[in-house]
Structure 1
Amino acid sequence: MGAGAVGCYYGFLLAKAGHAVTLIGRPALVEAVRSDGLVLESAAGADSAPVQATTDGNGVAGADLVLVCVKSGDTEAAGAMIAPHLGRSATIVSLQNGVDNAERLAAFLGRPVVPVAVYVATTMAGPGRVRHNGRGDLILGASETSARTAAALTAAGAPTTVSARALDALWGKLIMNCAYNALSALTQLPYGRLVQGEGVVASMTDVVQECVAVAEAAGVSVPSDIFDSVMALSRTMADQRSSTAQDLARGRPSEIDHLNGYVVRKGAALGIPTPANRMLHTLVKLAERAR
């Protein structure tokens, strides 16, 4: 549900592993996939996989596993689309940015939704064409079906572990996104070039420190070396631009309200000041209006 870069990547892997996959996405994607299949571009070249595609929420009918991959701001709308068509035994997992999407979707649907921390660099190279730039591993929250889901994803080429502390992992991913996404969007620079800019590392340090303070006040465990992990991303994904950068370049609404904006709101509720995150949130919102 939500066949953007993340949904198409994992959909491709599952289809290649022999699973019956249906993508629910925009009309241009559906038309391309019906004509040429779903295409994955990577360092190994281009390959295609046969999948079904539709613009309708009834694409989840009969599904054993539903991967919700929509933007954070579309979580409830996606829930409304698929709710009438979900089978009772279907496992629903949230492969979304932010930390509260699974909770929000579960409240809307009135049934469990498993949170997933996603570590992958992908972009859409065109309708029905997804480009893989790096990684692809997942941390899946604990549930009755998580072991089976993790085994299927791992066998398909997406290394997946199950953790009862998936929320901690989601916060770790959130901190990464807060450090990079807005700055990458405002400059349209990939991570490797971004961190070379004057004052960038110091600014990212301020952002991360605020995020950690909010997370700890919320009872979330953050690794003591989180900033080392943040900086490592500029090396392991040096050529990647953030999803927020891609949204801004295409004139689409970004997820900034659920990244730096979420930290600002959570910080305010907990009495933690977040000026660096507030500034980045404000600048991206202004850039969205300008475009």
Structure 2
Amino acid sequence: MRIGIIGAGALGGTFAVLLARAGHDVEVTARGASLAAIREGGIGLTGGYGEAHERVAAGEVLTQRPELVLVCTKAQDAAAAIAANAGLVDGVPVVVVQNGLEGVATAERLLPASSCMGMLSIIAANYTEPGRVRVTTTAASYLGRGDGEPDDECRRVAAVLSSAVPVIAIAGFRGAQWTKLVVNMLNAVPAIVGRSVQDVVDDRRLRRVVAASMRETVRVAVARGVRFGSLQGLGDRRLRFFARLPLWLGQLLPYFMRVRMGDVPNLGSTQQSLRRGQRTEIDYLNGAVVREAELAGMDAPVNRALTALVHEVEQAGASLPAERVVSAVRA
């Protein structure tokens, strides 16, 4: 199948290599040094899926009309990247592989003739060198749309992608997006202090902050009438129970996530953006919780503080001491 991948970063690069290795005809979009590296030497993949190297067509925009499109940009870049390719891909099935809550709606708005789906990936991958991706955690990805059962097209697309990497068509995709947002609360604190996710969760003071951001996220979602989808052992009943726990006990949630992650240092996608000198998607992660809280008539002080601290690191170009995080977030 001809598959176009918009955004060949950590996840886009991973899917590009694995899909090409499975025999699909893959074209990717990239920019700057990443584009130059992919054109010159292809994409190299190491880590959890083994070592692989694939040469794929690459450009700033797609040049051939694909049969399936994966949008793998950061959330803040999605609208511009989709718009740049809209003339070629509108009418083609589109899978948005993205953090946050808004990706599928953005694609539907810009590609009115396309059938748009979302995919939640728990794969952890580091992309700190152009054209080179290291997978630190392998996992299934989850595809769907809306609140109901997966339709035939979702199942078909999941089967195509599963020829390269496990993809499961799921029910209740919108609720699963919120579950993934809770998981993504692992991103902000490591980005602020410049340490791996594992190091942060192993630090008792910082683990408390991470747990507080997760608990606040769950409480906001409940206030917004969300029913959480099942993802990586987390579901509606477990997350609602977590939201009622005292914080000292709620710290078990990020701790168990850290254990599942293993010991290969995971920087998190937000910190990887900072290390590349790029704008982060923090406004679509912790910032999304703040906006949703306002819609529910609530406050989200933990996530507001973490969003502000990430922006401070963006502007300063340097990480902050752990004490700044602890003092800013009085959970």
TM over 0.5: yes
Question: For residues 5 and 62 of structure 1, do their structure 2 counterparts lie closer, same or farther at Cα, with a shift above 3 Å needed?
Answer: same
Show the counterpart of 2:96: 94
Compute the RMSD of aligned alpha carbons. Answer: 1.8
Cα deviation code 1:129-187 (max 9, x no counterpart): 1111111411100344211211122121x211111311121111111112x11101011
SS at match of 1:93: strand
Q: Which of 187, 191, 195 is the aligned partner of 1:185?
A: 191
User: Post-superposition shift, 1:254?
Assistant: 0.4
Q: TM-score, normalised by structure 1?
A: 0.92
Q: Which of 215, 218, 243 is the aligned partner of 2:224?
A: 218
Cα deviation code 1:57-107 (max 9, x no counterpart): x33x3211100011111121012111101153x210100111111112211
Question: For residues 173 and 202 of structure 1, do their structure 2 counterparts lie closer, same or farther at Cα, with a shift above 3 Å needed?
Answer: same
SS at match of 2:123: strand
Question: For residues 187 and 64 of structure 1, do their structure 2 counterparts lie closer, same or farther at Cα, with a shift above 3 Å needed?
Answer: same
Instruction: Give, in whole Å, the separation in 1 of the partners of 2:85 and 2:76.
Output: 16
Matched to 2:162, the amino acid is T
User: Post-superposition shift, 1:195?
Assistant: 1.3
Residue segments in structure 1 that go unaligned for 5+ positions in a row: none
Instruction: Give, in whole Å, the separation in 1 of the partners of 2:49 and 2:212.
Output: 38
Q: Which runs of 4+ in 1 moved over 6 A?
A: none
Kept after mapping to 2: 8 A contact 1:263/1:274: yes
Question: For residues 170 and 278 of structure 1, do their structure 2 counterparts lie closer, same or farther at Cα, with a shift above 3 Å needed?
Answer: same
Tell whether 2:316 aligns with 1:290.
yes
Instruction: Give, in whole Å, the separation in 2 of the partners of 1:72 and 1:220.
Output: 21
User: Post-superposition shift, 1:265?
Assistant: 0.8
Question: For residues 34 and 116 of structure 1, do their structure 2 counterparts lie closer, same or farther at Cα, with a shift above 3 Å needed?
Answer: same
Kept after mapping to 2: 8 A contact 1:66/1:93: yes
User: Post-superposition shift, 1:125?
Assistant: 4.6
Kept after mapping to 2: 8 A contact 1:210/1:273: no
Matches within 5 A, 1:182-261: 182-222=188-228, 223=235, 224-226=237-239, 230-237=254-261, 238=263, 239-261=265-287
Show the counterpart of 1:281: 307
Residue segments in structure 2 that go unaligned for 5+ positions in a row: 1-5, 145-149, 229-234, 243-251, 318-331
Show the counterpart of 1:31: 36
Instruction: Give, in whole Å, the separation in 2 of the partners of 1:33 and 1:245.
Output: 22
Instruction: Give, in whole Å, the separation in 2 of the partners of 1:117 and 1:240.
Output: 18
SS at match of 1:40: strand
Q: TM-score, normalised by structure 2?
A: 0.81
